Structure 1
Amino acid sequence: MRGLRDICRPRRKRGKLPASARLAFATIGLLAIAQPCFATPLPDPEPRYEVEVSRSVMVPMRDGTRLSTDVYLPVGAERKLGAILIRLPYGKHRWYRPDRYKGAWIFAGQGFAVVVQEMRGTYQSEGRFRLNQDEKPDSEDTLDWIVRQPWSNGTVGGYGCSIMAQVQHEMARTGHPALRALIPQAAFGAETGGAQELSNLFGWTFSRGTVLYLRPPRGAPDDFWARYGDLFDPAPKLPEIDPLPILNTLPVIDMMKKAQAPANDFEHFIRALGDAPRTEWAVSDELARAVARIPTLHMNSWYDAGAARTLELFRRARALATPDSQVRHYAIIGPGQHCVGFFLGVREHTGNTVIGERDLGDARYDFRGLYNRWYRHLLEGEENGVLDMPPLQYYLMGRNEWRSAAAWPIPGTRFTKFYLHSGGQANTRLGDGLLSVAEPRDEPPDRFTYDPGFPVPTHGGQVCADCLPGAADASGDYEVALPDGAFDQSQLEMRHDVLVYTTAPLAEAVEVTGPARVVLYAASSATDTDFTAKLVDVYPDGHAYNLAEGIIRARKRTPGVIEMLTPGEVTRFDIDLQVTGNW
């Protein structure tokens, strides 16, 4: 095989050095490990108001379907209120617990109205849950309802992580005049290179994507859920499963049957995916134009599968916003995993920030104060300087500090080509694979044998640990089926079906912040296969922590075209390693 990678190197700094950088190719599988504990984050702000909650208010949509909604209001606020809208499919009862998803209590205690709504067809809301199909009209109708309330000042902001961030994009698409501010955190899904990350698709659909919910009996009063909602859970009880054996079986479309899960749309998703990309997870021109009109804090983490698309949307929306307007776009990228670090009350960073197995110092950031200033300025007109912050803030792993920049990619970035070299024996980290800026000469190809029955297991990275059954525990002290984040890859690099290419020890420290990709030239004996690539940071003691990764499904190597391989024919593959920020 022959290939190269483009990598960002804005500037060099002296200091404690990693031993080298490494690039590895393999096929993928799954591995289980325990996740470390997280301690206490920054404290919550002192509430300015007591909070009262109107629970399970049934808000009508344009087709008559009613969506169950909790409204948090500050007691004694002598003014009209800006509202923060949180739409979710996960059950709003979790937000009612101030020891769990505490964002609603924090925001309301600071003087905002907070509207937490269960999406159509989930938990207490009527209708049928159809992922990414009803969010735009339902968001528009909910915004209309909010501005009609006697406590509303006519302004609304969006908040939330994962699907709650995707829904904010749908809010933006409505063009509703009341929508004045967004904080989408960890938006976008886990499809890349034509392949779907199964812990996301299977795990999320199993644990959160059911379409089977208990409904009130015929003739029940309109306030049924307000009266009796605390007495039972409308969601079905999930069977206890070990997801890893299921994820290691074929065909994929039968996985949910093997899990004996309640009714969901998994099989529909698999059939609908086919060879078509997930367009709702793309940064389209239409999405960029919709979001560009609204001030937005674009937030994500280096170990989230959507970080690259978050930064791309930030870049494009910022370019589309007119310079003389008051619409501003900002991006904040932390060191964590999916929804880790900035989603109030869930796996927040501490003074001892450990991501996977890697100690990354103190990554705490006063997100509570930032969110409060953001909404107070944009929903209530308070002049507090929040728009004076840098356009981009990111946590530089290894250096373990927050940094800022004026744009993405970072101005001054130098894109540098590294090439793969070997004498034909790059298998394992003990092989002769070399990574350098020198162009290759006449060198023999490297070969490996892929056994589908014994694939290289996934070990950390940008997987969705919280998506798999039993993973989401707000305390942060839990064991997951499939870990995410930074883990030592050195044992996996001893497999003969992993090709490893390593630089010489670095003479000085290098900041690697930006997008990275691999251009791989390879041949296969099969008509279709997957190639994966991984960029790792090798420490002097031999620990090799994964930084970025990517995959390409061979038949989808050209966007919009399905083309099988000709066995034995050398073909070009572009593998997107997404983004990283490391020193």
Structure 2
Amino acid sequence: MAMAKSAPYQVVLDANVMVAMRDGVRLATDIYHPALNGKPIDAPLPVVLERTPYDKAGIGRSEITARDAVPATRHAIAHFFASHGYVVVFQDVRGRFASEGQFSKYVNEGPDGFDTAAWIVAQPWCDGRIATMGLSYGAHTQTAMASAGAPGIAAMLLDSGGFSNAYESGIRQGGAFELKQATWAHRHAIIAAQTAGDVAAQAKLQAEDLAAWFRDMPWRPGHSPLRASPDYEAYLFEQWHHGLFDDYWRRAGLYTKPHYHRFPKVPICILCGWYDPYAKTSIDNFLGLSGRGTPTYLVMGPWTHGARSLSYAGEVDFGTAALFDGNIAADYHSFRLAWLDHCLKGEGPPPLAAPVTYFMMGGGTGAKTKTGRRDHGGTWRRSPCWPPADARPSVLYLHADGRLTPQASDAEEAFAAFISDPDHPVPTIGGAITSGLPIMEGGAFDQTERAQFFGADGSGRPLAARPDVLSFQTPPLDADFALAGTLTAKLWVGSDCPDIDIALKLIDVAPATADYPDGFAMNLSHGILRLRYRKGWDREVFMQPDAIYEITVEMFPTANLFKRGHRLRIDIAGSNYPHFDINPNSGEPEGNWSRPVVAHNRLWLDRRRPSRLIVPSIKTGPS
């Protein structure tokens, strides 16, 4: 990996130091010391800490640059920072790789992070200051330990993670369960069996046909692709079956919002992407941690999870301007070093010029690139706040004829009918997804049913042409239109079933071109609500047949410029599978049902029941 500047120190590694937690379980910890003449510096120094379930000595899949697509090892990353004067501590979390104990995803990271920090600040080589960093789970460990009041934290870099509320973003959304948790569990159960030398379990897990299992819902303990890994199966079902927002979800490792006051008042930098499942949690954390008298920064790119050095997401390209490299900093390695030097050594200015740096997608040529992706384009913008100060709510009303306009309907009674069939759910085509392969893939895609997407019929027809999808769109825009922030839908719905899902998708519809003769319908944002939770996440209130309910569905944040001639579209369906688990519509317990029912639903669209979309519109020029 390229060096950002000359490295003044050699590095000495103390590998697999076993650090005891409060319950006696020991976590394997690698400590990289800056050294001269082969000996560690005999003085206390600031510490960089990363805690990971992905092997402290393994490859960091997102540790790439635009110039070098080969991921660096964590050893190389640690060596880089240690050579610039930081003691670097990388640790395997409980139950993973060289650490002792049983792995139960997320739930031990608060106390274990606290105990690790307390151990570090007591060491003679630590000057009492710890800068935390890490991507995804490595960000979750940071917010968990900060929520627990861990000592010594002097700076934080939260990259694409750190639960604000895992119930609302990351494990569940709108009451529905994110099935990336299942694909992640299967993949890492295989790795855990391999690490433990359990050849039989590894072979059984690898032999499972994951696609067949996703066609055979629901799963049950002992009847799932994780049946050869009881520990991983147990924690997955524990998450899945906890439908109510109860004490399980209120733990510090999963629910950061009530604990923001426990975070140290130190510089915090938050990075994420619009097609990342942690986009909402990242913005929640920025808003919750800002305004405390210490700098908090937010960077939002057009990226999938951790893919900051790629210009594309799915089958859409945003151009070289989308790269972190050369636009935000020379590369991610040099950015983190500049962040550490500024926060811990007082060297140089902050590496970010404004509290918020975000990528406004859109404005490209629409042509097909040499790599076969659509050129959507985009530009970086800076703002002192989020949403941008000039964001204003624009209301668009849904009409029975499929129009989406600023004018409300004057009809006395109007509705659109659609069904939700648990045996034939609407397929997921891209979105804010990670860890979903081989079942689903994150990013921006033309919303057509192609064989590459799980559950699609392979016909290539527009998703909006399905009879179980309602679609509402504006006329072709007569001027550019930009939005940045969180969209909200206020809908009036009814059903003949006690519980249904309402799944939304925001789409930028480009007109037909030579490269795309049928146009291109690009997904931007999604939202979902399981209606049994419409009165609150902590209670189930089932629907009554033929009753009409006003509901609110919050969508994921985004920023996009709709070019003149494009259309803004909202799709509404009763499912988005396999991004989210299937709702049987019967009101049976979460993830444990046996009587799926086809729901017959109505979306009301008249003067008394005006279903509408609230859009955060902003000026189209640069800011």
Instruction: Name the TM-score class by shorter chain.
Output: 0.7 to 0.9
- Matched ranges for 1:32-111 at <5 A: 44-46=3-5, 48=7, 49-76=9-36, 80-95=44-59, 99-101=72-74, 102-111=76-85
Give the TM-score taking structure 1 as reference length.
Answer: 0.78
Q: 1:142-161 CA distances to partner (integer Å, 9 max, x unpaired)?
A: 11222233432221111111
Give the letter for the 2:54 counterpart: Y
2:359 aligned with 1:385: no
Separation (CA, whole Å) in 2 of partners of 1:453 and 1:96? 39
State the SS of the aligned residue for 1:253.
Answer: coil
State the SS of the aligned residue for 1:582.
Answer: strand
Q: Choose 67-76 or 162-171, whichever is displaced more.
A: 67-76
Separation (CA, whole Å) in 1 of partners of 2:256 and 2:506? 27
Task: Provide the residue aligned with 2:237 in structure 1.
Answer: 270
Task: Provide the residue aligned with 1:24 in structure 2.
Answer: none
Separation (CA, whole Å) in 2 of partners of 1:499 and 1:293? 47
Give the letter for the 2:23 counterpart: D
Separation (CA, whole Å) in 2 of partners of 1:54 and 1:294? 29
How far apart are 1:264 and its partner, in Å? 2.4
Distance 1:255 1:204, change over 3 A: farther
Distance 1:213 1:540, change over 3 A: closer
2:524 aligned with 1:547: yes
2:361 aligned with 1:403: no
Task: Provide the residue aligned with 2:584 in structure 1.
Answer: none
Q: 1:465-487 CA distances to partner (integer Å, 9 max, x unpaired)?
A: x2x4xx5xxxxxxxx43110100
2:396 aligned with 1:418: yes
* Alignment counterpart, residue 483 of structure 1, candidates 412, 428, 441: 441
How far apart are 1:368 and its partner, in Å? 2.5
- Matched ranges for 1:423-572 at <5 A: 423=401, 433-442=402-411, 444-464=414-434, 466=435, 468=436, 471=437, 480-490=438-448, 491-541=462-512, 542-559=519-536, 560-572=538-550
Q: Choose 508-517 or 249-258, whichever is displaced more.
A: 249-258
- Matched ranges for 1:329-408 at <5 A: 329-341=296-308, 348-349=309-310, 353-362=311-320, 363-365=322-324, 366=329, 367-379=332-344, 381-386=345-350, 389-399=353-363, 400-408=378-386
Give the letter for the 2:478 counterpart: A
Q: 1:38-84 CA distances to partner (integer Å, 9 max, x unpaired)?
A: xxxx9553551443322211112233221111122333275542211
Root-mean-square deviation (Å):
2.8
Q: Choose 170-179 or 488-497, whichever is displaced more.
A: 170-179
Separation (CA, whole Å) in 1 of partners of 2:223 and 2:270? 33
2:534–2:551 contact (8 Å) kept in structure 1: yes
Distance 1:85 1:421, change over 3 A: same
Task: Provide the residue aligned with 2:367 in structure 1.
Answer: none
Separation (CA, whole Å) in 1 of partners of 2:4 and 2:199? 32
1:87–1:119 contact (8 Å) kept in structure 2: yes
Task: Provide the residue aligned with 2:176 in structure 1.
Answer: 195
Separation (CA, whole Å) in 1 of partners of 2:185 and 2:259? 25
Q: 1:427-451 CA distances to partner (integer Å, 9 max, x unpaired)?
A: xxxxxx1111111121531112222
State the SS of the aligned residue for 1:55.
Answer: strand
State the SS of the aligned residue for 1:447.
Answer: strand
Q: Choose 289-298 or 268-277, whichever is displaced more.
A: 268-277
Distance 1:523 1:251, change over 3 A: same
State the SS of the aligned residue for 1:287.
Answer: helix
Separation (CA, whole Å) in 2 of partners of 1:107 and 1:233? 37
How far apart are 1:284 and its partner, in Å? 4.9
Separation (CA, whole Å) in 1 of partners of 2:501 and 2:111? 38
State the SS of the aligned residue for 1:536.
Answer: strand
State the SS of the aligned residue for 2:557.
Answer: strand
Q: Choose 232-241 or 512-521, whichever is displaced more.
A: 232-241
Separation (CA, whole Å) in 2 of partners of 1:449 and 1:303? 28
Distance 1:503 1:261, change over 3 A: farther
Separation (CA, whole Å) in 1 of partners of 2:124 and 2:195? 30
2:289 aligned with 1:317: yes
Q: Choose 491-500 or 247-256, whichever is displaced more.
A: 247-256
2:104–2:235 contact (8 Å) kept in structure 1: no
2:147–2:256 contact (8 Å) kept in structure 1: no
Task: Provide the residue aligned with 2:272 in structure 1.
Answer: 300
Percent of aligned pairs with the same residue? 30
2:11–2:79 contact (8 Å) kept in structure 1: yes
Distance 1:436 1:389, change over 3 A: same
1:190–1:305 contact (8 Å) kept in structure 2: no
Separation (CA, whole Å) in 2 of partners of 1:398 and 1:88? 35
1:275–1:562 contact (8 Å) kept in structure 2: no
2:155–2:343 contact (8 Å) kept in structure 1: yes
State the SS of the aligned residue for 2:487.
Answer: strand
How far apart are 1:360 and its partner, in Å? 0.6
Give the letter for the 1:378 counterpart: C
State the SS of the aligned residue for 2:290.
Answer: helix
* Alignment counterpart, residue 142 of structure 1, candidates 102, 111, 116: 116
Separation (CA, whole Å) in 1 of partners of 2:550 and 2:274? 27
Q: 1:208-264 CA distances to partner (integer Å, 9 max, x unpaired)?
A: 368966999xxxxxxxxxxxxxx9999956424442331232224358634544222
2:338–2:351 contact (8 Å) kept in structure 1: no
Separation (CA, whole Å) in 2 of partners of 1:166 and 1:292? 16
Separation (CA, whole Å) in 2 of partners of 1:533 and 1:456? 11
2:47–2:129 contact (8 Å) kept in structure 1: yes
Q: 1:296-334 CA distances to partner (integer Å, 9 max, x unpaired)?
A: 111211111221221122112113x13xxxx21111111
Task: Provide the residue aligned with 2:261 in structure 1.
Answer: 289
- Matched ranges for 1:102-251 at <5 A: 102-187=76-161, 188=163, 189-199=170-180, 201-208=181-188, 238-251=205-218
State the SS of the aligned residue for 1:377.
Answer: helix
Separation (CA, whole Å) in 2 of partners of 1:108 and 1:47? 12
State the SS of the aligned residue for 2:419.
Answer: coil
Separation (CA, whole Å) in 2 of partners of 1:402 and 1:234? 51
Distance 1:137 1:279, change over 3 A: closer
Separation (CA, whole Å) in 2 of partners of 1:104 and 1:406? 33
State the SS of the aligned residue for 1:493.
Answer: helix
State the SS of the aligned residue for 1:454.
Answer: coil
Separation (CA, whole Å) in 2 of partners of 1:517 and 1:235? 45
Distance 1:284 1:170, change over 3 A: closer
1:123–1:234 contact (8 Å) kept in structure 2: no
Separation (CA, whole Å) in 1 of partners of 2:494 and 2:21? 54
Separation (CA, whole Å) in 1 of partners of 2:501 and 2:5? 52
Distance 1:203 1:51, change over 3 A: same
1:298–1:332 contact (8 Å) kept in structure 2: yes
Separation (CA, whole Å) in 2 of partners of 1:57 and 1:148? 15
